[in-house]
Structure 1
Amino acid sequence: MTFLSTETGEAADEERRLRLRVLLEEYRTVLIVAFVVLVVLGGWLSYGAYANPGEETTRQRESTWTATGDVSHDATVTEPNSVYPTGTRLENRPLYYTAISPTVDGEFVGGYESRTGDGVDVALTVDLSYRAVDPDDGTVYWSERERLASTTGEDVDPGENVTATFAVDVSDVATRIDEIESDLGASPGETEVVLEFGRVIEGTIDGEQRSATDSYRVPIVTEGGTYRLEGQDSYDEPYEEYETEVVTASAGPVRTVGGPVLLLVGVGGLGGLAYASRRLPEPTAAEREWLVYRDDRARFEEVITTMALPDAALEGPRAKPETLAALAEFGIDADAAIVFDPQRELYVVRHDGIVSVFEPPTPASVADGRDDASSGDDGRISFVEASDSASASEGTTTGEPTSKSDADPSAASDDDPFTFAGLETAADETAESDSSGWHAQLDESGPDEGDADDTNGGD
């Protein structure tokens, strides 16, 4: 019997191949499902990327042009005062004084900016509107409007401006509001005075016919003998022209690259799994049993003592545990040594006169490797009975009959203590040992290998 040790390269490869077959058998279904999912997903992504990418609607900006505008205002001091000389022009002030400069003059400038322009007309209007409005719901009780300015520029080039000038006498507006309220006999809501600017641009701009209409409101707020124009920061309006186009949808790298890669991995995985299934057949029950033994050996390696045992150590009633783990756990519970005899390939625990022996399974391909390295069916690791090999080993070592029935179980003493921890029994002591009263003693000096050979392999 030959012990398959993982310390040798050939044995390690044998064990790795066997474990690979076990893993393949355990996860075969999971791998098949995973590879099928990859094939389906990769096929779907690839079909969407190449066979039927679909369509999408895009908007491409053709041109951008801007309608421009600006409002400026000023008031001239017409009444004598101690602050401003008469005739002083106050420009773009945050407020004006009604008593000394009741009239505000202003300009509304309009135009456009673009790459090209042909036959473009720019029309500007300035209206003055005053009305009474409910501040809560916006109800208009009365209103009046008057046109202050209107001008149109023809064939205006890009960057060229058209100007509309206007003037508002705030004192006259206040007088007119008082007249309306007097005529109505009431002054409901709040009174608003607003400048309304209008701008219309029409013509061929950037090669296309364009038309844009914009309007702005600039309130004139009167308060405590002053008035102010609440204008905007900008009167420019950008216009962007877009063209809608239906194009082939872009699949992106996830579909164009990821789809074929997943498909290739899935198909390759299924093919490789099929090939491996043919080359690596399912492990037999004996092979699985041997792997269990190898795992148990690795698990209890620290508590197993390796030494050659004399024949007398195996005499007595025998118990045969099913696994090495069962033997090791028994030895630990019984506080007895767990000994591995490398010559007989046996694991032994002796306790209370009973010899517990575990005979490990061994791959026949290793045991018979010197006779026929290729023996075995379909590349499987076959097993032989360890007991047969163990018996043969005993006969060879002692020169006695190899049959286990030749041993006298009653020869062992039941009350003799059996301690294996650190046991190294000298071969010459073994030869003198009486089979009816075998004792294993701790010999710190250790046996002489030459004497052991002379004793165990007697003439």
Structure 2
Amino acid sequence: MLEKYRTILIVACIVFVALGGWLSYGAYANPGEETIQQREHAWTATGDVAHGVTVTEPNSVYPTGTRLENESLYYTAISPTIDGEFVGGYESQTGDSVNVSLSVDLVYRAVEPDGEAVYWSERERVVSTTSEDVKPDENVTAAFAVNVSDVASRIDEIESDLGASPGETEVVLEFNREIEGTIDGEQRSVASSYRAPIHVEEGTYWIESASSYDETYEEYETEVVPASVGPPRTVGGPVFLLIGVGGLGGLAYASRRLPDLTAAEREWLSYRDDRDQFEEVITTVALPDAALEGPHANSATLAALAEFAIDVNAAVVFDPERGLYVVRHDGIVYVFEPPTPASRADSHDNTDSVDDEQISFVDASDLVSPSEDEASNGGSTSKSDTNPSQPKADDLGMSTGPETAPDETDGVNSDDRDARIDESESELESDVVDVDDTSGGD
């Protein structure tokens, strides 16, 4: 078995060694490099807008002086002025000489619907404030107020002066924030602007503002570091390498400890492979003497005999009584005699001369046909006087030496043959005892 698959096992072990070496080299000796970005600094410019109105006109819903804050809708008739606060600052670890400037501008203009064209535009500064030496998390506030009714009147005035009202008019509050100073040990200067449209429609208006105007600024430093490798390389590589080296070592040890196959063992294994391969085309039948009459031709292997039978569309018959494979075609009997099993051949080599004579006697009796047994028992015909047409052991390619018929897959026939061998050996030993007694008597 080892000799049969040795080449395949060696190739497999070499593949494991190569794969394990490659994975291990990539994981430990040369993992490569990768570029990463390491965050060095991060700080945030903060911003928030709050708005509301105060009811200034009498009405049946809200008492005069009522404060409405951060509502989704305001009424122009009872509270035409919207006011609020734009709060700004910054968050960081440290800050030094930081100035924060906030401003709110009111912009109204006529623009092309769903386009970029601006027909006319007007801007006015509502509020502006600057605070110096602002510390982290300290807020700066810019309060603003816009009378929506006055804005609507101004738009009508502009359109009247132009004598046309092209496009659509829009009203926007712009919140501007500038921060400059030393933040987290670095000199920084940033400016941001945000838009909050005021929608005016049929006596109502509302402001569209975000919940927060925070903006984070991050700085990264690019670094080149060894590439990270995962468990498939860090663990799989050494494991494959260990399997490959261990396998090669095991094969070398087994090759020294286990002897090479003998010629008889090779022949037997080849025969067993042929038997397994052509099992479906082989029929086990005890053949009569007449089936073996005629010219004989010996086949070197069972595979050659089976392939010949397939080519000529003939049957391959295994005769368990004679231990032969037979194919009959065009009057010629093609015969293959199986080799002796390696274990039995070894046992024959270890027996003495008397045992060899006993086995040879039994083997010869196995080849005698039923007609020869009758002639022998009758006393009138010897083995040499049997039917000359009956094929002899030599004609069928069998040996009358110390080798016996092989153990076949048919368990019943094999057991019967072994029983016959034991019975013949007992009879021979009994005859030997009788001869010794007679000699002693003389």
Structures share a fold, TM > 0.5? yes
Question: Which aligned pairs between 1:186-225 and structure 2 lie closer than 5 A?
Answer: 186-225=164-203
How big is each residue's C-alpha offset from its partner over 1:381-419, in whole Å with a ceiling of 9 and x where there is no partner? Answer: xxxxxxxx9998258866xxxxx9xx9xxxx8xxxxx8x
1:21 aligns to what SS in structure 2?
helix
Match of 1:432 in 2: 378
Question: Which aligned pairs between 1:30-429 and structure 2 lie closer than 5 A?
Answer: 31-32=10-11, 38-263=16-241, 265=243, 288-295=266-273, 299=279, 304=284, 317=294, 319=296, 321-322=298-299, 323=301, 326=305, 338-340=319-321, 346-347=323-324, 358-362=336-340, 367=345, 371=349, 393-394=360-361
Structure 1, unpaired ranges of 5+: 1-18, 374-388, 399-403, 413-417, 419-424, 440-445
1:181 aligns to what SS in structure 2?
helix
CA distance in 1: counterparts of 2:428 and 2:357, whole angstroms: 19
Deviation, structure 1 residue 113: 2.4
Deviation, structure 1 residue 355: 8.1
- Tell whether the 8 Å contact from 1:427 to 1:448 is kept in structure 2 after alignment: no
Deviation, structure 1 residue 247: 2.2
Match of 2:393 in 1: none
* Cα separation, partners in 2 of 1:152 and 1:357, compared to 1, 3 Å: same
How big is each residue's C-alpha offset from its partner over 1:140-169, in whole Å with a ceiling of 9 and x where there is no partner? Answer: 111110110111122222222111001101
TM-score, with structure 2 as normaliser:
0.68
* Cα separation, partners in 2 of 1:302 and 1:360, compared to 1, 3 Å: closer
CA distance in 1: counterparts of 2:99 and 2:308, whole angstroms: 105
Does 1:22 pair with 2:4?
Answer: yes
Deviates more, 1:230-239 or 1:216-225: 230-239
The code of the aligned residue for 1:338 comes to: D
How big is each residue's C-alpha offset from its partner over 1:189-210, in whole Å with a ceiling of 9 and x where there is no partner? Answer: 1101000001122233333333
Structure 2, unpaired ranges of 5+: 391-418, 436-442
- Tell whether the 8 Å contact from 1:70 to 1:109 is kept in structure 2 after alignment: yes
CA distance in 1: counterparts of 2:37 and 2:120, whole angstroms: 46
CA distance in 1: counterparts of 2:94 and 2:274, whole angstroms: 90
The code of the aligned residue for 1:185 comes to: G
* Cα separation, partners in 2 of 1:457 and 1:108, compared to 1, 3 Å: same
CA distance in 1: counterparts of 2:348 and 2:264, whole angstroms: 21
2:320 aligns to what SS in structure 1?
strand
Match of 1:8 in 2: none
How big is each residue's C-alpha offset from its partner over 1:111-133, in whole Å with a ceiling of 9 and x where there is no partner? Answer: 22233333222211100001111
Deviates more, 1:128-137 or 1:82-91: 82-91
TM-score, with structure 1 as normaliser:
0.66
Deviation, structure 1 residue 324: 5.0
CA distance in 2: counterparts of 1:351 and 1:450, whole angstroms: 33
CA distance in 2: counterparts of 1:257 and 1:447, whole angstroms: 62
Aligned length: 386
Deviation, structure 1 residue 246: 2.3
CA distance in 2: counterparts of 1:287 and 1:448, whole angstroms: 23
- Tell whether the 8 Å contact from 1:199 to 1:215 is kept in structure 2 after alignment: yes
* Cα separation, partners in 2 of 1:438 and 1:397, compared to 1, 3 Å: same
Deviation, structure 1 residue 272: 6.5
Per residue, is there more helix in 1 or in 2?
2
1:362 aligns to what SS in structure 2?
coil
How big is each residue's C-alpha offset from its partner over 1:308-334, in whole Å with a ceiling of 9 and x where there is no partner? Answer: x99x9999657355245758998x977
CA distance in 2: counterparts of 1:350 and 1:181, whole angstroms: 117
